[in-house]
Amino acid sequence: MTDITIKGAGIFGLSIAWACVQRGASVQIIDPGGAGAGSSGGVVGALAPHVPENWNPKKAFQLESLLMAEQFWGDVAKAGGKSAGYARTGRLQPIADAHARALALRRVETAQELWSDNATWEVITAPLGHWEPASPDGHLIRDTLSAHIHPRQACDALVAALLNAGVHIQHDGPDKGAVLWATGVAGLEALNARHTRTMGSGVKGQAALLRYDAAGLPQLFAGGVHLIPHLDGTVAIGSTSENTYDDPTSTDPQLDNVIAAARAAVPALREAPVIARWVGVRPRARSRAPMLGPWPDRSGHYIANGGFKIGFGMAPKVAQVMADLLLDAKDTIPKGFRVEDSL
């Protein structure tokens, strides 16, 4: 007997499937493109928190998820024998001027209040090294909450863990049991077609992978781009956010600008070869928060969508609350995340 049918083998679909399987549910996953075929097959994987101020349910949810990540991805790796490339090495950000430094210093106290002993946010004197970005103010923001993951490896790790639990990804098949739709941009388009109000849209992103070994060092946010030192000796940089675009399947000079900005921020990357270019369209819900819960006008159907930019960081907590809902009818989805909040 199949308890749950999951449509979509991106990060939300795979993570929710894993959480349900761990609780003893029988699950089938259907995706004609296979695992990570959409925006979850990217290269960046920044698991970075929102700034510690103006606290709201979205930031609280994300904090819980980031703190769950090490255990979540450790269990996945143990079950399937494949690493997700997860590492909590923190993040560095250059400070532009005295005003920005004063703002960063005020956030030291709010981080201590909101993050407690789980992580720190601090302002440090910019050290001289090959990896630290140039800072106009001479100082850097350093937080110890940020982590990173390799998206493609993470999807592969979940597939391996699920396979060892007897769950295969199918290209098609009949729905059985409750049906969860985690179908990204296509899912948002289906919702838009059923409602007069736009529920969400796709945002094109372009990113690149460079050959440079900075494994174990902090991720950077500098020059307007994320720089992620993956554990496999590559650095991912990205990404663009394009609300309008002509071609969703190819990179263009906008990615060249991202690469140039990364090399300007970290001179050590100037000669690092580009080994891959990535493009994808990411699902952004109208509320900007993930869209979770029952599909309002389809009994027995559920939605997990809208992981734009933060899908991998939110995945452990999204998997937990959706497994609660699907298996135990326990609704712990916060206000602002519910599907009906976008109606």
Cβ–Cβ under 8 Å, residues 181 and 191: no
* Mean pLDDT, rounded, for 110-120: 96
Give the span between the Cα atoms of 68 and 162, in whole angstroms. 19
Amino acid at 131: W
3-class SS of residue 260? helix
Cβ–Cβ under 8 Å, residues 11 and 313: no
* Mean pLDDT, rounded, for 125-143: 92
Cβ–Cβ under 8 Å, residues 85 and 45: yes
Evaluate the omega torsion of the peptide bond into residue 239 and state whether it is cis, within 30 degrees of 0.
yes
Give the span between the Cα atoms of 322 and 101, in whole angstroms. 40
pLDDT score of 128 more than 80: no
Backbone angles phi, psi at 123, to 5 degrees: -110, 125
Q: Give the right CATH number for 4-86+147-199+286-342 from 3.40.50.720, 1.10.3720.10, 3.50.50.60, 3.30.1330.30.
A: 3.50.50.60
* Mean pLDDT, rounded, for 155-181: 97
Give the span between the Cα atoms of 144 and 162, in whole angstroms. 31
Percentage of the chain lying above the pLDDT 70 cut: 100
What's the whole-number average pLDDT of the chain?
Answer: 95
Cβ–Cβ under 8 Å, residues 277 and 208: yes
Which pLDDT tens digit goes with each residue over 215-238?
999 999 999 999 999 999 999 999
Report residue 156's pLDDT band, with 50, 70 and 90 as the boundaries.
very high
Give the span between the Cα atoms of 59 and 53, in whole angstroms. 9
Task: Report the candidate in 224, 48, 245, 61 with the shortest Cα–Cα distance to residue 148.
Answer: 48
* Mean pLDDT, rounded, for 322-330: 96
* Mean pLDDT, rounded, for 63-80: 98
Give the span between the Cα atoms of 261 and 272, in whole angstroms. 13
Order of strands, edge to edge, in the sheet holding 301-305? Answer: 169-170, 27-30, 4-7, 178-181, 301-305, 291-294
Cβ–Cβ under 8 Å, residues 42 and 20: no
List the structure tokens of 60.
Answer: 């609280």
Which pLDDT tens digit goes with each residue over 260-300?
999 999 999 999 999 999 999 999 999 889 999 999 889 99
Helix count (H) and strand count (E) of the chain? 7, 16
Q: In this predicted structure, what is the pLDDT of residue 1?
A: 59
pLDDT score of 44 more than 90: yes
Give the span between the Cα atoms of 14 and 193, in whole angstroms. 26
Percentage of the chain lying above the pLDDT 90 cut: 92
Cβ–Cβ under 8 Å, residues 256 and 250: no
Centroid of chain to Cα 17:
17
Task: Report the candidate in 38, 4, 76, 29 with the shortest Cα–Cα distance to residue 316.
Answer: 76
Each domain of the chain, given as residue ranges in start order, spans: 4-86+147-199+286-342
